[in-house]
Amino acid sequence: MLDVAAEGHFSTKERILGAAEDLFAQYGFAGTSLRQVTQHAEVNIAAVNYHFGSKENLVAEVFRRRLDELSDKRLTTLRAALTEQPGQLEPILAAFIEPALALTLDRHGGSAFVRVLARAYAEKNERLRKFLSDNYGHVMREFSKAIAGCLPDLGKEELHWRLDFVAGALTYAMADFGLIRRPSARAEKIHCQNAAAALIRFTAAGLRAP
């Protein structure tokens, strides 16, 4: 989605967000200059400060735009799974994994965003971590509770580790996934579903390990 022409009919603000997402994914937050962003978005350099105030705010907005939707989708699916298929682990994992991997199929830069997410994890930037924790921490906590309910024999510490492993496997899978260019949208969709299914099998077995 480095092809800016594909974003030509969006507003200046949206064009900046799209370009920033692409570039942050490729070069990181510190490694991307606002000049690069505005150049790729084909807007004026001053537009960033007019619309976002600062680079830091722009970074936060890049996250908010995708994470609000992702979190909603995850929680809605989770709650449906808990009422319709109570006590089952796989539907919970599917609610966590599938909406995330589906982002890689998004035609408007979602595939870049999964790499941005992977970067955010490595980032030790306090402000960014606090922003993510404050705004989206409740999602992980709700999933954590749901999974714990399926695995009553697991110790609290062991559960915490294993959830970390699940998140790591997903992040890695998503970021790697975003690198591969597949021939058609159809092949891409099938590949994504296969990856999600494989990850659910893997993590379900791992979580159930004695």
Partner DNA sequence: GTCTATATAAGGATAGAC
Partner DNA sequence: GTCTATCCTTATATAGAC
Where on the chain is the footprint of DNA (CB under 7 A)?
11-12, 32-36, 43-51, 53-56
Q: How many CB atoms lie within 10 A of CB 124?
A: 7
Smallest separation (angstroms) from a copy of itself to the CB of 84: 24
The interface partner of residue 9, options being a copy of itself, DNA, none and the CB cut-off 5 to 8 Å by kind, is none
**What does the block give as tokens for 110?**
């979602």
Judged by CB, which is closer to a copy of itself: 5, or 122?
Answer: 122
Residues in the site for a copy of itself, rule: CB under 8 A? 25-31, 115, 118-119, 121-125, 157-158, 161-162, 164-173, 175-176, 194-195, 198-199, 201-210
Residue 117 to residues 106, 108, 121, 164: CA-CA distances in angstroms?
15, 16, 7, 15
Smallest separation (angstroms) from a copy of itself to the CB of 4: 19
Smallest separation (angstroms) from DNA to the CB of 59: 10
Taking each helix axis as running N to C, give the angle between helix 110-122 and helix 12-27, from 0 to 180 degrees, rounded to the nearest 10.
Answer: 50
Q: Is the dihedral of CA 65, 71, 76, 80 positive or negative?
A: positive
Q: Rounded to the nearest 5°, which phi and psi values hold at 155?
A: -65, 160
Smallest separation (angstroms) from a copy of itself to the CB of 33: 10
